[in-house]
Amino acid sequence: MKTVLTKSLKSLKCLVLFALIISFPVRAQLHVEISGVGATQIPIAITGFSNEELAPEMVSKIIRDDLTGSGYFKLIPTLGSVSEADNINLPEWKTIGADAVLVGSVQKTDEGRYEVRYKLYDTNKSTVLSAFSYSNSTQYLRLSAHKVADDVYEKLTGIRGIFSTRIAYVRKNGPNYQLEIADADGGNVQVAFRSREPIISPAWSPDGITVAYVSFESRKPVVYAHNLMTGHRALIANFKGNNSAPAWSPDGSKIAVALTKDGLTQVYTVNADGSGVVRMTNTSGIDTEPQYSADGQFIYFTSDRSGGPQIYRMSAAGGEARRMTFTGSYNISPRISPDGQTLAYISRRDGKFQLYALDLGNNQELRLTDTQDDDSPSFAPNSKYIMYATEISQRGSLGVVSVDGRAKQQLTSQSGDVRNPTWGPFMK
């Protein structure tokens, strides 16, 4: 089980809060490379937005990149810009293969804000599917573009978009470690915390305001909860031995952790302020990496009680645990999808650590990656994508894969290794 622990170690309410909280802006954006697409793609034409050249970034490009990266849209080439106020000849767009057309404009207001307006058309029904506008300051222009992409994604697929969500991860650059917060596409990177000692296992609170993580700044693993709005760090677990693997309950009232304070590593829960520690497992083996189900009824965790590391599930109130994985002799890092339908985990087979997904409805397992050093899976809040850490050309990078394994992206950095991703929740 030593290898499990080694693998583990590798392993806004409104958006205004990010203007207040993140004290270290950085330029080390993540570069996105697309390597797979969905089985079915929706042909869509996204024109240039009128006057967007006056803005700091091209809104239509951000939207195109979001939808292309999802794997479920085929972009029809366009020329020039078209405003939402223009008359649109939908039959012409239909003849060149577009089932949907997105047009819009960017206007700078007297207050210095940017207003993004758009219309989404259905060429088959000759109807407007959506028409809206977002007004934000310059620093949130990308957010406006992501929200347009979210709306298009939802209108055309029926599934809520995740482009305006945030991710957190750890970057190691030489001897330095940084907890970074970024847009879901790896852009708009901000540094929340820096340390000369390792930072691992970040986990978002359900409200998207706090990130719990493990810091080695005191030369041992200690769990903190870092409020991104105020910058305040609350000590959650600093017991004798190791304190690791924090995971929030869905209501944000508790954090599950793995502690060695009473001997071997076992699963405990603590209140969100660090009080009220309760032991949840009591075995002669190692129980670690707890994760709450989205409904709060269960805790999934890794245990070697069967002789090798496997995934188990127990009631969040305590009691007997049920084994969930049976294929393969080494399964770790459980993550349960927000819709409760899919269990993701890392499995070691033929010497490779790869990401797998188990359909809990039919018990069918699917390998999602072709890499060989994966860890730290994290579901998107719409349950349709999983972000994970891997290694490309001996450098830590992030990957994103759809739950059917078809749509794939790689998020790489030219500066340092990036590891331990966690996907933030939908914001209210």
Q: Name the pLDDT band for 10 (thresholds 50, 70, 90).
A: very low
What is the maximal distance between C-alpha atoms in the chain?
Answer: 72
Return the structure tokens found at 409.
């992206």
Please determine, for residue 25, whether its predicted confidence score (pLDDT) is greater than 70: no
State residue 33's pLDDT score.
78
The C-alpha atoms of residue 39 and residue 215 are separated, in whole angstroms, by 41
State residue 37's pLDDT score.
74
Contact yes or no for 196/173 (Cβ under 8 A): no
| % of the chain with per-residue pLDDT over 90 | 87
3-state secondary structure of 327: coil
Distances from the Cα of 400 to the Cα of 35, 153, 266, 376, angstroms: 10, 17, 30, 12
State residue 428's pLDDT score.
73
3-state secondary structure of 156: helix
DSSP for 44-80, please give it.
EEEPBPBTGGGSSS-HHHHHHHHHHHHTSEEEEP--S
Please determine, for residue 32, whether its predicted confidence score (pLDDT) is greater than 90: no
Please determine, for residue 14, whether its predicted confidence score (pLDDT) is greater than 50: no
Please determine, for residue 53, whether its predicted confidence score (pLDDT) is greater than 80: yes
Q: Which residues pair with 143 in a beta bridge?
A: none
Please determine, for residue 360, whether its predicted confidence score (pLDDT) is greater than 80: yes
Q: Name the pLDDT band for 22 (thresholds 50, 70, 90).
A: very low
Q: Name the pLDDT band for 423 (thresholds 50, 70, 90).
A: very high
Per-residue pLDDT of 319-340, as tens digits, reads: 999 999 999 999 999 999 999 9
The C-alpha atoms of residue 97 and residue 121 are separated, in whole angstroms, by 13
Q: Name the pLDDT band for 9 (thresholds 50, 70, 90).
A: very low
Q: What CATH number does the domain located at 2-30+165-423 have? A: 2.120.10.30
Mean pLDDT for the stretch of residues 349-378? 97
Per-residue pLDDT of 137-153, as tens digits, reads: 999 999 999 999 999 99
Per-residue pLDDT of 228-241, as tens digits, reads: 999 999 999 999 99
Residue type, 338: P
The C-alpha atoms of residue 193 and residue 22 are separated, in whole angstroms, by 9
Contacts 24+ apart (CB under 8 A), 193-200: 193/226, 193/233, 194/24, 198/9, 198/172, 199/170, 199/420, 200/8, 200/9, 200/10, 200/11, 200/170, 200/244, 200/419, 200/420
Per-residue pLDDT of 397-411, as tens digits, reads: 999 999 999 999 998
Residue 320 CB partners (closer than 8 Å, separation 6+): 314
Name the least confident of 20-34, 128-142, 293-307, 362-376.
20-34
Per-residue pLDDT of 142-187, as tens digits, reads: 999 999 999 999 999 999 999 999 999 999 999 999 999 999 999 9
State residue 34's pLDDT score.
75
State residue 165's pLDDT score.
98
> Which residue in this structure is represented by tokens 């349709």?
384
The domain limits of the chain are 2-30+165-423, 39-157
Contact yes or no for 255/291 (Cβ under 8 A): no
Please determine, for residue 224, whether its predicted confidence score (pLDDT) is greater than 80: yes
Higher-pLDDT residue of 207, 17:
207
Q: Which one-letter DSSP state was computed for residue 113?
A: -
Q: Name the pLDDT band for 26 (thresholds 50, 70, 90).
A: very low
**For the domain with range 39-157, which CATH number is right: 3.40.50.10070, 3.40.50.2300, 3.40.50.1370, 2.30.130.60?**
3.40.50.10070
Per-residue pLDDT of 240-265, as tens digits, reads: 999 999 999 999 999 999 999 999 99
Please report how many Cα atoms fall inside a 13 Å half-sphere around the Cα of residue 352, on the Cβ side.
Answer: 12
State residue 28's pLDDT score.
63
